[in-house]
Every structure is written in structure tokens, then in C-alpha cells.
Amino acid sequence: MRVGILTAGGDSPGLNAAIRGFGKAAIGAYGMELVGFRDGFTGLALNRAVELPAAALSGILTLGGTILGTSRDKLHKLSLDGQVRDMTTQAAANVRANRLDAVVVLGGAGTAKNAKRLMDAGVNVVMLPKTIDNDIVGTDTSFGFATAMEIATDAIDRLHSTAHSHHRVILAELMGHRVGWLTLGAGISGGADVILLPEIPYDVDNVAATVHSRIERGSAFSVIAVAEGARDVHDSAEYAEARAMVKSAVTSTERKAAKAHLAVVESAQREHTFKLAHELERATGLETRVTILGYVQRGGSPGAADRMLATRVGAAAAAMVNDGVFGVMAGVHGNAVEPVPLSDVADRTKTVPLDHDWISTARKVGTGLGD
């Protein structure tokens, strides 16, 4: 068998480990040939193919990023020469031209939608779940998440020193898109005093009350972990209403107007963490500072947990390809890696359930959640 492989969406620790895990199993255990495509689905649409012999997989286990490059481009909306084109059919044609029996794609929620489009075009597809956000349905976790949580936890640890020394409130903004898994996990692990999540709209007065109660107990500082998608009660309602308008739009004109309105709302709320910092400084009388971790959370060498996970998922995906199991994602369920239909994954998001053990744990140890 000849199999193509590509990485799509944002970069993440463990991508190279997963390429290696799949490639070594595919070549060594099943005698397959491996072909890589550079820069995500763009590379597949433009046929940027490169042969990947076993030697090309040597030494990449510990490397951050992806040796194949990546992009967030969508197959059905690919910008080429100033024009937006649907390149799904061309991508499928390139699969046939390269005599590929299947294509393996590594990515997150957006990648799942592109993978399903490719599947619907007649291509045998297997997806490997990658994201630091941990927001992919059908899998307990995804490679990249554990390493990002370690990095974010370390940052929160370090911010405690400055917050304590200067009697300040420090807000650490973490990634996670529209879900709070990363912020919740790192916030608990790093001992954040308040954790603010997209799933729980916060009230500024409640956050200030938590800071005040700490001051009364003799702790004249606070460290607050803020998810990039977190919003206060008012902004959350405005954002939810704007998204609902997009979903309920019927005509293309209505949809275009609704998306334009949503973009305005998102732009106005983009610096919500700085807004919260100003409000808390006024409410508490403590100097308040903001640290935005940004892409630091996605870079560097993957930790041991992600190397293990990526290798397991990659090897399991090679077995699925060998067995002719296609149109699926290699989902992690406990100690097993099992096929999950792409139709169950695409266009869905795994948010933090309000009754999740991590939420109850945070409350039990006295962490404020802003509600």
C-alpha cells in the first residue's frame, strides 16, 4: 500500500512523534510506502508531495512543530492567485495521481471537517487527533494537550513569585480557543486562585470578591488563569447572540451580514483580559498586570506523555489503514485507540461539562470560577 500523510491546522507538540509513530508502523510492520504532503491540505491540493522513507523518520521524535509544515487552509475555500476556489476534487485527483490507497491527516476540529470533505470525495481517510485545546469529540485526549498544560502550569508557577513579591493581581491568559480544558487543567495544577473559562461566564464583582477574601486572609496577591475564550456575563451573552444569528441565517445575504456582525463583536471583545485587569484594579486597589502566554504553549519538544500518546495513536492508525478501516479518527478511549466515524467528529466541539470532576475539584479546593 501507498499512503499519504499531512499535518493541518495549528502546530502542536507531538506532530512529529505521530508522523514517526505512524510511519514506522506503516513501513516496518505492514510494508507500506509513505508519501508526505507539505503545508497541510494546501499541499495536497497543489500536489506538494515528498517521499518519506524510513530514514526520514529518524530523529524527529523529540522535535517540536512538524517536518511537513502546516496551514489552516480549507479545501473548499482555498485562496489561489487572488481567487477562492474549491480544490476538493483536485485534491482527490492528486491522491489518485500519486497512487495512494489512503491519506492520513493529523489535526484538530477544523481538520476533521476537511478530512470529511475529502472522504466524501471518495478518498480513504484516517485522522489522528491533535490539538492543545483538547476540544475534539470522540477522544479522551489529543496529543499536544499534555505538553501545553505543562508549559502553562510552569508559567503560572513562575507568576506566583512576582505576584507575591509585589502584592499584585496577575492575570495569565491561556490558549484553548472556545473551550477551557487547558486553562482549567493548568489553573488547578499551578494553584491559580481564580480560573475563568468560556463555559462559565464570570461576574467581575465575584472575581473581585475572591481577591478581597484572600486579602482578608492575609494573602495580598492573586494569580488568575484566564482562558482566551472566557467572557463576562454581558459579553458572553452578546457573543452567544451573534453566533446564534449566524446559525439561524437562511439566505446568503443574511449569513454574510450575521458573520460581519459576529466579527465586529469578536474584535470588540478581543482584549477582554486587559479590560478585566482594569476593572479588578479599580475594584481591589491592587496593581493588576496581564501576561499572555500565546504561542509559547504550542512550541518546543513534546513531553513524555505526548510522545507516548502520539506514538500509540500513530501505530494504531497504521493498523486501521492496513485493515481497511477508513473514514474514521483514531480516538483514545481509556487504554485503547479505537476508530470513531469522522461524521461523529466533524463540526462538533468538546466543551468542559459543568459537572466535570475538574470543575468540582477546583471548587472543593477553594478556587474561584467567577460565578
What is the C-alpha to C-alpha distance for residues 23 and 19, in angstroms, rounded to an integer?
6
Output the CA–CA distances (angstroms, integers) from residue 283 to 205, 209, 212, in the order listed: 8, 9, 9
What is the C-alpha to C-alpha distance for residues 234 and 244, in angstroms, rounded to an integer?
15
Specify the 3-state DSSP secondary structure of 355: coil
Closest CA relative to residue 263, chosen from 284, 242, 293, 290:
242
The active-site residue out of 11, 39, 133, 135 is: 133
Continuous H helices in the chain: 15-24, 40-45, 88-97, 109-120, 145-166, 181-189, 204-216, 233-248, 252-268, 272-284, 304-322, 357-364
Q: Which helix or strand (DSSP H or E) is residue 128 part of?
A: strand 125-129
17, 307 Cβ separation under 8 angstroms: yes
What is the C-alpha to C-alpha distance for residues 298 and 127, in angstroms, rounded to an integer?
20
157, 134 Cβ separation under 8 angstroms: no
What is the C-alpha to C-alpha distance for residues 23 and 256, in angstroms, rounded to an integer?
43
What is the C-alpha to C-alpha distance for residues 6 and 34, in angstroms, rounded to an integer?
11
Pairing of strands 78-80, 83-85: antiparallel
Residue bearing cell 457573543: 239
Residue type, 174: L
Helices 181-189 and 357-364: crossing angle, nearest 10°?
Answer: 40
Buried b (16+ CB within 10 A) or exposed e, 227-247: bbbbbbeebbeebeebeebbe
Residue 344 catalytic?
Answer: no
- What residues are annotated to the active site? 133
